Structure 1
Amino acid sequence: MGRRRDLTEIRRLQNISRLVTLTGAGGVGKTRLALRVAAEQHRAFDAVWLVDLSALDDPELITETVAATIGVRDQSEKSSLTSLIQALSAQRTLLVLDNCEHLRDACASLADRLLRAVPDLRIIATSRQSLGVMGEHQMEVAPLALPEPDRRLPGRAPELYDGVCLFLERAAAVVPGFRLTADNEDAVIELCRRLDGIPLAIELAAVRLRALTVDALLERLDNRYGLLTSGSPTVVPRQRTLHALVDWSFQLLSPSERTLCSRVSIFPGHFDLEAVEAVCTGDGIEQQDVLDLIDALLDKSLLLREEHGCQVRYRMLETLREFGRLRLKGPDERRTLARRHRDHYLRLVERAVAEWFGPAQLTWYARLRLERAHLRAAMEFCLHEPGEAETGLRMAMLLFDPLWMPNAFYSEGRYWLDRLLEVTPGPTAVRAEALCADAHLAFMQGDPTAGELRIGQGRALAEKLDDARILAWASLVAGIASHQSGDHARAAVVLEEAVAGLAAAGEGIALVVGLFSLGAAVGYLGDLEQAARLLERSLAIAERHGESWIRSWVLNVCAIQAWQRGDNARAASLARESLRVGRGFDDRLAIGTSMEALGWIMQSEGRHAAAARMFGAAVGVCRTAGMSALWMVQHGEFHERCVNALRARMGERAFDRALRQGGRLTLDDAVAEALGEPADARGTEGRGEEPQEAAVPAASPLTRRESEIAELISQGMSNREISSALVIALRTTEGHVEHILTKLGFNSRAQIAAWVTARKAGGQDCGQDGRDRGRVTPPPRPR
């Protein structure tokens, strides 16, 4: 099923090396892939042999097993190895050594000897880890491809993914007529995802459809090792159930490797070496041994290596992770590991907060996004472990600046703060500060009722505690809320109090926020000179500390005020500088607000289509965060005024078309257009033409001719019909179809058809040639 890219890569490796080892987790499909390679290449060899070593336990018998498989009998005084070499030397041979992991050293020794002695021999090995032979090339076989989480796919697009395809095929064999529908699509995709795209697990799950619906199967998946037990009787026992297969891998580990394999199951997502050293050491594992043990688990395919930016991280498939949790020494060990896990990530958050207002801000922003699953697990531990709720509340509150706000994770921030506030009623400074943080998030989401309640509670508690710093922060939150609602006079008064209190308390980033918020409020009240002084002071503090995120917001406010003064050139420069400074952060609200401001500026400059596209881009960017660029009352007024002018100048249809074009831009292309950088999707403004519908930019690997053939395949034409329609040889058509399948990683014409349909639904072209964009028009069918 699928694997065409893997097949292409194996062929490439075979051109480099005579020994290619396919590695990967149990059940991932190494054997089937090796068999398919062998089947496709049998004409290139005089003989192709499969040697199944799964049932062999004695490494001394490997040579005899291989010899017996290829028909060499021990009927002379020669050694089995000598006889084997002579037999292999007589012909060009492809030897597949399957399931080498439990006999790794013996397999490596035999492969090395045979390759040295037989020049025309090629070997494909399958193993949980590489053989370690000089000249060996390793290819890790990944689980089957699956749709990304939280991504809605059009039409039959889910069927383009090999993992979903496999489930559907096996399900149809068990339940005739089973197919993907709108009702079961989400459950099918989630099921395949929960099974990590492991073919064996997917096949075992499909068998259960005899008795369960997909939804019921998904619900019972928490007990996957009890559920997925109906394997084929034709395979070796260890491959008949998921539990037996994983246990086989586990038993091949050394004692210390087993211990670490079990302990890293505490990590809910990908993790780094520092985390393993902090959480999993002690009681048999020394810190200096962790790197070697991690390397061993990677080599045995029990951990996956991933690169996130410039960081190397590790991940355990969920199927393996659940098995590892079952191997921990009871609830006491799980609790100990969970506490150490919480402690490690709490220390990480404390470091992030200490360094947040400075040049390391972007680094910490990216790091905390990577650790999001662990931060959730740490707070969940605090909720359920007696006596830890206060620590959890402090952690949730500390995440306000470096995680909840710059990512616009307002709902998630409120979720954790609300849950932890409920179980920590004590009158503490942590609670007072958390109430203010919760209020700010509520105001940002346009929920003033909850915001007013929380800020009132926070201020009352801060007064009771006589904590001037938290009182100043409460004033900051209340002042921003008033500014946001359009009550700039009240905002100015409250923000002045906040700025004075924050300056006295030695606050850094909160003071910068207070100054630029006060500057914005004063500016809307008409005192642009005072506003400029406040904004300059805010910028100076941020620049002195090397801060970027808040500075991008300050620059945006400066841009809006420059536009209000009629200085469009200065305003555009500041708005674009705001985007450049803040583009490393995924603050969709900040990005969308800058684009909205650029729309106002472009409208003032008479760039009508560009302004409409920018408004559309702002809407699209903010929509992905569940926000609106018009989150301030004043912004809504500016927007309405500009849109009315554009509709009057452009007409309804032209305006709406340009708005849709901007809304379809990807985030990167929207930012590129706002900055004036080249982008794939551009209108024709400035050339005296009406802007055209912009295609969603997405590169296609197909050539112009291949895209034509793909289009005809989607119409149900056979190779012979395509050859006749395009007036090309049948053999040429077959070659093009094979290239299309290889490039797209598909194994059926139906997948090509679904791919073409999905790209049309997304407004994308199917070919590389710029002259070939849009719909491919096929020749008429032959009569």
Structure 2
Amino acid sequence: MVTLTGVGGVGKTRLALRVAAEMSRAFPDGAWLIDLAPLVAEELLAETIADTIGCRQPSVAALSEHLLNKRLLLVLDNCEHVLNECAILSGKLLASTTELHILATSRQSLQVPSEHLLEVPPLTVHGTGEAMVATADARYEAVRLFEDRAAAVVPGFTVDAANSAAVTQLCQRLDGIPLAIELAAVRMRALSVDQILERLNNRFRLLATERTVVAPRQKTLRALVDWSHDLCSPEEQLLWERLSVFSGGCDLEAVEEVCSGDGIAREDVPSLLIELVDKSILVRRTQDSGVRFEMLETLRQYGWERLTDSRQETALRLRHRDWCRELAARAEAEWFGENQMEWLVRIHQEQANVRAALEFCLSEPGQAWAALEIAAAMWSHRLSWSSPSEGHHWLERALAQETGPTAARAKALWVDAWLLLLQGDLSAAQPLLLECRGLAERLGDEAQLAGALHITGFAALLAGDFTRSFTLLEEALVRRRALGHRGHSWVALFQLSMVAVVMDDPRSTALCQEVLEASQRANAAWSVSYALWVTALDRWRHNDPDTAVTMMRDALRFKLRCNDHFGIAEGLEGLAWIIADQHQDNRAAHLLGAAHMVWRSIGTSLSGLGHLAGLHGRCEAQLRGSLRNEAFTVAFTRGSQFTLDQAVAYALEEKPARDPANSPPESDVASVLTRREREIAELVARGLSNKQIAETLVIAQRTAEGHVENILRKLSFTSRSQVAKAWSSRQQAGAP
């Protein structure tokens, strides 16, 4: 473990990314960036790491097992605000694995026993008393950085005899801090070097008298940010401060809702955002869902401090809370419809904001009721959590604080029980359902009583008590329809059709047809995937395997688009059951192994999913009999070693799934790629994401994604790791 330490803005993150890119070939299992800046709760550190590296069970034991025998690099960026948890988790992971390497950035040491510290110094600047020569000044890193960044905003700018003294003095005053230099260079749009220096000098003298206990470099950075703040108009300053309430970025509508009023007219928000982007306070990101605005963490913290000084932070966090409540409520109300996929993307995008709002509600006295409402409304978008256990984490905390007999508590109880059931934990869910039903009856709340009956019926399905499950779900469906709950009704209908299929009930075909038509009529893609899955099983049970295979593969395609790991595991299982009856024994065993891999990754056990466990057991017994135990075990084990993408590709028979260990050296791999594709393949091999590739090459992220897809298609690969391995092998072979 190496920890890069240093003052804010010195370039720790940038250095860590460069090191990871340069060393990516030494880590065949990847170099993974984990940005901890948006993390608001230490308890979610393991969740965040697990979600990033593809381990869907966020426990130390699961992470250790996932990392065992993998040679990879974790880059833990911005550890300072979750220092204790980072230290504990890093120490445990390093002690339980042999090939794990960690590169951390923090303003202070994590004090892990195996930690090596490297202080990141500022860029080199001209020494005091050293003669300044224009032709020699370019040897100093700080001067070179200023010249490069200034030339980006003033084409043709160079450090010459006329400005060398001013540039050098400016870099000295900024102590060579990269962020400070970059912010100063941006001012070249309107000012000369001498004008920047003059204004900066005035600010430094003021700070030197007021903030004597702050380290010099911190004074320098704060002075520059203070000065950048002063260059903004009063409205821009106010918006900057208010924007600090957001975590992980925001869009225009969110800014208008949370930040307007009391000095900022709503109609002025767009122009103010443009000004803040132009002044490099905000970064504008274009994504598939539209434009978002992000702020460097240093600048966000600065804005938050000023907001706190004005004693406006609580009022703004309440507005931010209300915006998150409204967002969650709208997502719940509109999730079953043509905008279902858009809502899945948006809620996932706002995950950091929702987490921040929940943490505020659970740390501010008297606000836990709002946490109950927000977290419970997210039931329809469980994919937005890193795993079902994260949703349970928030609801468990909120329920412990808000114990009054309210409808919000009743709803939170059945939602929490549902999340526990998805993890296969029936015993923990049962008392929640009992309390929910009793509370709903006492309150006379028909909606929450329907919820209690519904999830109790789902629990009976998982427990294998199909007759009771059918009765409860049928009653829940009647109640949901009477209340006009379209989305809830569809879920109850889907689960009812599932019970009918596993019971061989004669009503199964009609129910499956109804659930499929309802989801297609609503144009709800995620729901269609589940309807296809259960209908495929019904066709299989009624001796129509060809149709069943086609529908199951269609379901898998939808689930891959949604990144629904639970649904993908169900699809792999279902396809294995179907083709096993078609005597495709070896392929079916591979698929059972692949499904096993996904179940484990999301922390779910088939033993807790009774409706699936029985069908799985029947299929496994059949395959062990036809293949014999040894051959079955070999095929099952091989399937369990697939990546998620490989598993789905194998199931769809669209591309051959290759064992990563058998990826060819491919010294001629570049021959089928264009020059730009070779350039991008090199960056993929370094471990860069599509977003990072786009930023490096100054192209749109969507363009980068298209190039990566073309590379995978041309090479018949199914994952980025195969590209990285093939490219690294090519370079090791000495290919140009």
- TM over 0.5, shorter chain: yes
SS in 1 for 2:284: strand
Mapping for residues 511-660 of structure 1, pairs under 5 Å: 511-527=489-505, 529-628=506-605, 631-660=608-637
SS in 2 for 1:328: helix
Judged with a 3 Å threshold, the aligned counterparts in structure 2 of structure 1 residues 184 and 340 are, in CA distance, closer, same or farther, namely farther
Judged with a 3 Å threshold, the aligned counterparts in structure 2 of structure 1 residues 474 and 285 are, in CA distance, closer, same or farther, namely same
Q: Distance in 1 between matches of 2:517 and 2:465?
A: 27
Q: Distance in 1 between matches of 2:470 and 2:683?
A: 64
- Asked if 1 retains the 8 angstrom alpha-carbon contact of 2:589 and 2:635, the reply is yes
Judged with a 3 Å threshold, the aligned counterparts in structure 2 of structure 1 residues 596 and 295 are, in CA distance, closer, same or farther, namely same
Q: Which residue of 1 aligns with 2:359?
A: 380
Shift of 1:391: 2.5
Judged with a 3 Å threshold, the aligned counterparts in structure 2 of structure 1 residues 475 and 580 are, in CA distance, closer, same or farther, namely same
Q: Distance in 1 between matches of 2:514 and 2:104?
A: 54
**Any stretches of 5+ residues in structure 2 without a counterpart?**
1-7, 16-30, 36-47, 54-65, 79-92, 128-170, 176-215, 672-678, 688-720
Cα deviation digits, residues 146-204 of structure 1 (max 9, x gap): 46762387776439x7999xxxxxxxxxxxxxxx9769999995742xx5xxxxxxxxx
Cα deviation digits, residues 423-452 of structure 1 (max 9, x gap): 222222222222121222222222222211
Q: Distance in 2 between matches of 1:324 and 1:295?
A: 17
Q: Which residue of 2 aligns with 1:304?
A: 283
**Is 1:348 aligned with 2:336?**
no
Cα deviation digits, residues 220-274 of structure 1 (max 9, x gap): xxxxxxx999998956242262452253144133233333322222112122122
**Is 1:430 aligned with 2:345?**
no
Shift of 1:695: 4.4
Cα deviation digits, residues 263-311 of structure 1 (max 9, x gap): 2221121221222222223343333333333333333333333333342
Judged with a 3 Å threshold, the aligned counterparts in structure 2 of structure 1 residues 372 and 461 are, in CA distance, closer, same or farther, namely same
Judged with a 3 Å threshold, the aligned counterparts in structure 2 of structure 1 residues 543 and 249 are, in CA distance, closer, same or farther, namely same
Q: Who wins on radius of gyration, i.e. which is larger? A: 1
Amino acid in structure 2 at the alignment position of 1:325: W
1:289 to 262, 268, 281: 268
Q: Distance in 2 between matches of 1:526 and 1:740?
A: 51
Amino acid in structure 2 at the alignment position of 1:264: L
Q: Distance in 1 between matches of 2:463 and 2:14?
A: 64
Shift of 1:453: 0.7
SS in 2 for 1:236: helix
Q: Which shows bigger deviation, 233-242 or 509-518?
A: 233-242
**Is 1:251 aligned with 2:217?**
no
Q: Which shows bigger deviation, 283-292 or 585-594?
A: 283-292
Q: Distance in 2 between matches of 1:334 and 1:322?
A: 12
- Asked if 2 retains the 8 angstrom alpha-carbon contact of 1:229 and 1:242, the reply is no
Judged with a 3 Å threshold, the aligned counterparts in structure 2 of structure 1 residues 493 and 636 are, in CA distance, closer, same or farther, namely same
Q: Distance in 2 between matches of 1:375 and 1:369?
A: 9
- Asked if 2 retains the 8 angstrom alpha-carbon contact of 1:396 and 1:416, the reply is yes
Q: Distance in 2 between matches of 1:419 and 1:743?
A: 40
2:111 to 213, 223, 246: 213
**Is 1:158 aligned with 2:73?**
yes
Pick 1 or 2: higher relative contact order, CA cutoff 8 A, min separation 6. Answer: 2
Q: Distance in 1 between matches of 2:649 and 2:32?
A: 30
Shift of 1:368: 0.2
Specify which structure has the higher proportion of helix: 2
Q: Which residue of 1 aligns with 2:453?
A: 475
Q: Which residue of 1 aligns with 2:338?
A: 359
- Asked if 2 retains the 8 angstrom alpha-carbon contact of 1:26 and 1:246, the reply is no
Q: Distance in 2 between matches of 1:422 and 1:654?
A: 50
Amino acid in structure 2 at the alignment position of 1:584: R
Q: Distance in 2 between matches of 1:30 and 1:412?
A: 27
Q: Distance in 2 between matches of 1:297 and 1:216?
A: 43
Cα deviation digits, residues 79-125 of structure 1 (max 9, x gap): xxxxxxxxxxxxxxxxxxxxxxxxxxxxxxxxxxxxxxxxxxxxxxx
Amino acid in structure 2 at the alignment position of 1:515: L
Q: Distance in 2 between matches of 1:369 and 1:243?
A: 38
The TM-score, its normalising length taken from structure 2, stands at 0.65
- Asked if 2 retains the 8 angstrom alpha-carbon contact of 1:596 and 1:629, the reply is no
Q: Distance in 1 between matches of 2:536 and 2:386?
A: 22
- Asked if 2 retains the 8 angstrom alpha-carbon contact of 1:556 and 1:594, the reply is yes
Q: Which residue of 2 aligns with 1:241?
A: 217
Q: Which shows bigger deviation, 340-349 or 245-254?
A: 245-254
Shift of 1:563: 2.2
SS in 2 for 1:327: helix
- Asked if 1 retains the 8 angstrom alpha-carbon contact of 2:457 and 2:469, the reply is yes
1:460 to 438, 446, 456: 438
Q: Which residue of 1 aligns with 2:240?
A: 261
Q: Distance in 2 between matches of 1:743 and 1:436?
A: 43
- Asked if 1 retains the 8 angstrom alpha-carbon contact of 2:76 and 2:103, the reply is no
Judged with a 3 Å threshold, the aligned counterparts in structure 2 of structure 1 residues 651 and 694 are, in CA distance, closer, same or farther, namely farther
Q: Which shows bigger deviation, 365-374 or 584-593?
A: 584-593
Amino acid in structure 2 at the alignment position of 1:426: G
Shift of 1:217: 10
1:322 to 301, 319, 338: 301
Q: Which residue of 2 aligns with 1:672?
A: 649
Judged with a 3 Å threshold, the aligned counterparts in structure 2 of structure 1 residues 451 and 294 are, in CA distance, closer, same or farther, namely same
- Asked if 1 retains the 8 angstrom alpha-carbon contact of 2:424 and 2:606, the reply is no
Q: Which residue of 2 aligns with 1:393?
A: 372
**Is 1:507 aligned with 2:405?**
no
Judged with a 3 Å threshold, the aligned counterparts in structure 2 of structure 1 residues 243 and 181 are, in CA distance, closer, same or farther, namely farther
The alignment yields a C-alpha RMSD, in angstroms, of 4.3
Q: Distance in 1 between matches of 2:400 and 2:732?
A: 60
- Asked if 2 retains the 8 angstrom alpha-carbon contact of 1:191 and 1:218, the reply is no
The TM-score, its normalising length taken from structure 1, stands at 0.61
Judged with a 3 Å threshold, the aligned counterparts in structure 2 of structure 1 residues 498 and 293 are, in CA distance, closer, same or farther, namely same
SS in 2 for 1:267: coil
Amino acid in structure 1 at the alignment position of 2:245: I
Q: Distance in 2 between matches of 1:465 and 1:163?
A: 48
Cα deviation digits, residues 1-38 of structure 1 (max 9, x gap): xxxxxxxxxxxxxxxxxxxxxxxx95449999xxxxxx
Q: Distance in 2 between matches of 1:187 and 1:744?
A: 19
SS in 2 for 1:518: helix
Q: Distance in 2 between matches of 1:462 and 1:218?
A: 56
Judged with a 3 Å threshold, the aligned counterparts in structure 2 of structure 1 residues 246 and 275 are, in CA distance, closer, same or farther, namely farther
Q: Distance in 1 between matches of 2:225 and 2:351?
A: 30
Cα deviation digits, residues 710-737 of structure 1 (max 9, x gap): xxxxxxxxxxxxxxxxxxxxxxxxxxxx
Judged with a 3 Å threshold, the aligned counterparts in structure 2 of structure 1 residues 741 and 182 are, in CA distance, closer, same or farther, namely farther
Amino acid in structure 1 at the alignment position of 2:111: T
Judged with a 3 Å threshold, the aligned counterparts in structure 2 of structure 1 residues 391 and 745 are, in CA distance, closer, same or farther, namely closer
SS in 2 for 1:353: helix
Judged with a 3 Å threshold, the aligned counterparts in structure 2 of structure 1 residues 382 and 431 are, in CA distance, closer, same or farther, namely same
- Asked if 2 retains the 8 angstrom alpha-carbon contact of 1:484 and 1:632, the reply is yes
Judged with a 3 Å threshold, the aligned counterparts in structure 2 of structure 1 residues 765 and 364 are, in CA distance, closer, same or farther, namely closer
Amino acid in structure 1 at the alignment position of 2:584: R
SS in 2 for 1:367: helix
- Asked if 2 retains the 8 angstrom alpha-carbon contact of 1:516 and 1:535, the reply is yes
SS in 1 for 2:562: coil
- Asked if 1 retains the 8 angstrom alpha-carbon contact of 2:258 and 2:323, the reply is yes
**Is 1:443 aligned with 2:424?**
no
2:252 to 262, 273, 283: 273
- Asked if 1 retains the 8 angstrom alpha-carbon contact of 2:458 and 2:495, the reply is yes
Q: Distance in 1 between matches of 2:96 and 2:557?
A: 43
SS in 1 for 2:507: helix
